[in-house]
Amino acid sequence: MSEHRSDERANGIDDAQHDVVVVGAGIAGSLVAKRLTQAGFSVLVLEAGPATAAAFDDYSNHVQAFYAATSKGPESAWPPAAGVPQPDTADIRTGDGYFVQAGPLPYGSTYTRLQGGSTLHWLGVSLRMLPEDFQLQSSYGVGRDWPLDYWALEPFYGEAEHEIGVAADVVDQTHLGLEFAPGYDYPMHRIPPSYSDRLLAAAVDGMTVNLGEDQLALKVRNYPAARNSMPRGDYRPVGAVDQRRAGQGDGHGLARDLGQRCAGNTACTPICPIQAKYNAGKTLAQADGRTLQVVAQAVASKIQLDPVTGEVRGIEYQRYDDPASARHTVHVARGRVYVLAAHAIENAKLMLASGLGSASGMLGRNLMDHPSIYGWGLASHPVGPYRGPLSTSGIDDLRGGPFRARHAALRVDVGNDGWRAPTGAPDSTVTDAVANRGLFGTALREHLRSTLSRHVRFSLNVEQLPSRSNRVSIDPRYVDLLGNPRPVINYDIDEYTLAGMAAAKRVYQEVFRRAGIKDCTDPEQGVWFPSVAYQGDTLHYHGMGHFAGTHVMGNDPAQSVVDTDQRCWEHRNLFLVGSGSFPTMGTSNPTLTLAALALRTARHLAKELST
């Protein structure tokens, strides 16, 4: 990596011409960079944040930061640079973070602005969207249809699963209409289900719940996950990335052996210490270094247009040397084609800040998430929580079906991390035992043994439909240290999703009853999360980090921002990739689908650039 090349150039002198300029070294940008460099094209990647996750010694510092952090939230291992602020879970309550929360409800999700992006702290679940998710409007009369169907994306799902390394068995995944190409299987065998998954499955499999008029049978199923497991065939799991900076020693292969298999560190979020879980740095490290240039600490700030052709002729960026300082120099990156892969929010923000993409009126709109409900309880016997990947199984049966005409679909994520996320356990359990229960000595030890080992946590992720009024916009009153706009977020949860959240609450209560799990859910005693009133109840919801919809894809330029290749309708050489392109999101986490879309766009670009 030649991070310091810009030092050789005086301010205002343009960079060399590249075939492709990519903004953002997260999963989408890294996949595009890998594919196009391998096809022989020169690619410049601008990354707003530092590249510390790419060097093993620096990565270790992130791990140490997590150990020592007082609050161990998703961002605890990944502090941002001064000029590149990022949303933080802790800011949702105070409302004064990077996001300007314009209401009526707080938007509950966050992301990371470092090289590697939010894959540095994602859970790793890699679900495909259901075939019916692509045709929500025509099937159920709600939301929007995608301009692509499942089968148009299916080959790219398979490609994405191999690029990021997904562990699963097809035989576990063929339900709710999901089909796979004949003979296909995932690159690695499934991650073994946890002890508690098995106990839960034994108690729950076959029970039914009613959603409206639909009666649905439940089954605990293994989750596909981008974590290294037993390889299938010739697949070689990809472990830790160790791209040390020049003069720092070559690493002597010391980190190379790490992370070739998930070792159960129980910290997928905030940080997998051995990188057995996929992060985008792995993909970027596989790009062809001969034609790849990555410039970290380079914040894209404005897209320049050719006034005659309407095409993009450059992207201005602010390069800083000291992550603690706002001092920077301004440069322009030039290419034949420009790919914004900076995140759903950041893509829209950059477009808005450049005064682009306004024709359809859709830019920044249709912002979605999976507003989610926690349920936590005590099993009757030890189930072995606080071990293993944070989640290895879920209940998928409520992701699809006719009930979607009436309310949102949902997915039950079964945790292996006890009450950590909703209550701050095990620390909060210790504090409660000592301060409230007055326990000490062997009674304290026995109480903790008996309770901690029985902690069960569900997270019920609820679908949210696109809405024009849920949006990101900018306002000249709100800027960051570099003078770039902060995202202003308008967010609400509609009746369709609220009804789904209420159903989710009912479902977990029924499952707990069936499994003999004592419901201990008490949002007033847990970690603070935003809440919304619904039919006399108060629903506390947390974001899943699943941003989508800010530059929606479609067939009609009047109703969408990008076409099916993720090309901006208004600017022929500008592509906006990522979950911002999703017309709807269903109940799967967006990463695998956005990776598949990015690979599809990369294939198109490779063809287009060759002609």
Partner 1 sequence: MTAARLKELLAAAVKLELATIPPYLCALYSIRPGSNQQATLVLRSVVVEEMLHMVLAANVLNAIGGRPQVAGREHAPHYPHELPDGVILDLLPFSPAAIESFLQVENPQYLPTLTAPDSAALQVRRPELHTSHAVAVSERPTTIGAFYQEITETLKAVAADIGEPALFCGDPARQIGAEFYYAGGGSPTRVTDLESACRALDEVVDQGEGDILSPYDADGDLAHYFRFQQLKYNRSYLAADEIGTPTGPAMGVDFKTVYPMLANPRTAEYDDPDLKAASVRANHSWSQLLQQLDAAFDGRPDALLPAVHTMFRLRDAMLVLLANPLPDHHGRHAGPTFEWQPFTTAKAGTNHDLSP
Partner 2 sequence: MTSRRDLFIDLSVELTGYSRVQLLGTGMSERYLQALDEVLPDGMVDEFLATSAALPTMTIDAILRSETWGPVTRNIMILWYCGRWTALPDSWRAVHGTRPADSNHVISADSYQAGLQWVAAGAHPAGARQQGFGAWTVAPEEAAS
Residue 271 contacts partner 2 per CB under 8 A: yes
CB 301 within 8 A of CB 317: yes
- Residue 266 interaction partner, one of partner 2, partner 1, none, beta carbon < 5-8 Å per kind: partner 2
Comparing CB distances to partner 1, the nearer of 55 and 373 is: 55
Residue 261 contacts partner 2 per CB under 8 A: yes
- Residue 70 interaction partner, one of partner 1, partner 2, none, beta carbon < 5-8 Å per kind: partner 2
Report residue 36 CA to chain centroid gap: 23
- Residue 332 interaction partner, one of partner 2, partner 1, none, beta carbon < 5-8 Å per kind: none
- Residue 254 interaction partner, one of partner 2, partner 1, none, beta carbon < 5-8 Å per kind: partner 1
Residue 246 identity: A
Among 79, 147, 155, 192, contact with partner 2 (rule: CB under 8 A):
192
- Residue 73 interaction partner, one of partner 1, partner 2, none, beta carbon < 5-8 Å per kind: none
- Pick the closest to residue 580 from 362, 293, 386 (CA basis): 362
Q: How far apart are CA 456 and CA 423, in angstroms?
A: 12
Binding segment for partner 2 among 121-129, 190-198, 515-523, 570-578 (CB under 8 A)?
Answer: 190-198
Q: Least distance from C-beta 420 to partner 2, angstroms? A: 7
Binding segment for partner 2 among 26-34, 261-269, 506-514, 546-554 (CB under 8 A)?
Answer: 261-269
Q: Least distance from C-beta 438 to partner 2, angstroms? A: 7
Helix residue ranges per DSSP H, 332-426:
344-353, 420-423
Ranges within 257-286 binding partner 1 (CB under 8 A): 257-258, 260-261, 263
Q: Least distance from C-beta 387 to partner 1, angstroms? A: 11
Residue 522 contacts partner 1 per CB under 8 A: no
CB 291 within 8 A of CB 41: yes
Among 308, 324, 435, 533, contact with partner 2 (rule: CB under 8 A):
435
Residue 306 contacts partner 1 per CB under 8 A: no
Residue 289 contacts partner 1 per CB under 8 A: no
Residue 309 contacts partner 1 per CB under 8 A: no
Residue environment code for 192-223, b if the CB has 16+ CB neighbours within 10 A, otherwise e:
bbbbbbebbbebbeebebebeeeebebebbbb
Phi and psi at residue 395, in whole multiples of 5°? -110, 115
- Residue 607 interaction partner, one of partner 1, partner 2, none, beta carbon < 5-8 Å per kind: none
Q: How far apart are CA 278 and CA 228, in angstroms?
A: 8
Report the phi/psi class of residue 600: left, alpha or beta, with left for phi > 0 and alpha for psi in -120 to 50. Answer: alpha
Among 140, 180, 195, 235, contact with partner 2 (rule: CB under 8 A):
195
Taking CB under 8 A as the rule, which mask of x and - marks residues 178-217 in contact with partner 1? ------------x-xx------------------------
Report the relative pairing of strands 471-473 and 410-415 from DSSP bridges.
Answer: unpaired
Q: How far apart are CA 205 and CA 589, in angstroms?
A: 24
Residue 263 contacts partner 2 per CB under 8 A: yes
| Helix H or strand E encompassing 317 | strand 312-319
Residue 456 contacts partner 2 per CB under 8 A: no
In 3-state terms the chain splits into helix, strand, coil percentages (rounded to 5) of 30, 20, 50
Residue 11 contacts partner 2 per CB under 8 A: no
Which residues pair with residue 100 across a beta bridge? 488
| Pair of tokens at residue 427 | 């620390």
- Pick the closest to residue 517 from 369, 385, 365, 341 (CA basis): 385
Q: Least distance from C-beta 194 to partner 2, angstroms? A: 5
Q: Least distance from C-beta 450 to partner 2, angstroms? A: 8
Ranges within 31-60 binding partner 1 (CB under 8 A): 60
Comparing CB distances to partner 1, the nearer of 256 and 603 is: 256
- Residue 66 interaction partner, one of partner 1, partner 2, none, beta carbon < 5-8 Å per kind: partner 2
CB 185 within 8 A of CB 243: no
Comparing CB distances to partner 2, the nearer of 195 and 534 is: 195
Residue 277 contacts partner 2 per CB under 8 A: no
Q: What is the DSSP letter of 380?
A: S
Binding segment for partner 2 among 388-396, 484-492, 497-505, 597-605 (CB under 8 A)?
Answer: 388-396
- Pick the closest to residue 591 from 606, 579, 581 (CA basis): 579
Among 13, 202, 217, 230, contact with partner 1 (rule: CB under 8 A):
230
Binding segment for partner 2 among 28-36, 39-47, 332-340, 385-393 (CB under 8 A)?
Answer: 385-393
Task: Provide the 3-class DSSP secondary structure of residue 456.
Answer: strand
Residue 141 identity: G
Comparing CB distances to partner 1, the nearer of 153 and 395 is: 395
Residue environment code for 357-388, b if the CB has 16+ CB neighbours within 10 A, otherwise e:
beebebbbbbbbbbbbbbbbbbbeebbbbbeb
Q: How far apart are CA 267 and CA 545, in angstroms?
A: 16
Spatial CB neighbours of 322, under 8 Å, sequence gap ≥ 6 = none
Q: What is the DSSP string of 545-583?
A: S--B-TT-B-S-TTT-SB-TT-BBTT-TTEEE-SGGG-S
In the complex, the residues that contact partner 1 under the rule CB under 8 A are 60, 190, 192-193, 230-231, 236-237, 248-250, 252-258, 260-261, 263
